[in-house]
Amino acid sequence: MPRQDESDRGDTADGADGVDAEVQPFGDNRMLIAGGVTLVGAVAGNLVVQVLVAEGTLPSGADEATLPVFAAVAVVGLVVLVGSFLRR
């Protein structure tokens, strides 16, 4: 009796069950979700920092210091989101 890892599933099998994964028209759903969550998280994080600065909880220069970080994270999220649509 052959071992389970030695069975002939073929080179095109993607799943654990040996069935080919279906090609989705808008790329991988994980990329779509990750890009969207990253983009929304960056915008929400920036808004939270601005609110905390307006309330006086954070010092006045904190929003200028964190803006490039949130902008970079938002750009990465946008690239992943757009890439999920362009990937076939």
How many CB atoms are closer than 10 A to CB 70?
A: 19
Digit-coded pLDDT (tens) for 3-32: 665 555 555 555 565 555 565 555 568 888
Would 17 be classed as within a structural domain?
A: no
Would 54 be classed as within a structural domain?
A: yes
Largest CA distance in the chain: 71
Residue 19 in contact with residue 13, Cβ under 8 Å? yes
Would 3 be classed as within a structural domain?
A: no
Q: Which residues contact 14 (CB under 8 A, 6 or more apart)?
A: 20, 21
Would 73 be classed as within a structural domain?
A: yes
Would 15 be classed as within a structural domain?
A: no
Say what the pLDDT of residue 7 is: 56
Would 6 be classed as within a structural domain?
A: no
Grade residue 41 by pLDDT with cuts at 50, 70 and 90: very high
Q: How far is CA 13 from the centre of its chain?
A: 25
The domain in which residue 45 lies consists of: 25-86
More reliable by pLDDT, 64 or 22: 64
Would 20 be classed as within a structural domain?
A: no
Would 59 be classed as within a structural domain?
A: yes
Number of domains comprising the chain: 1
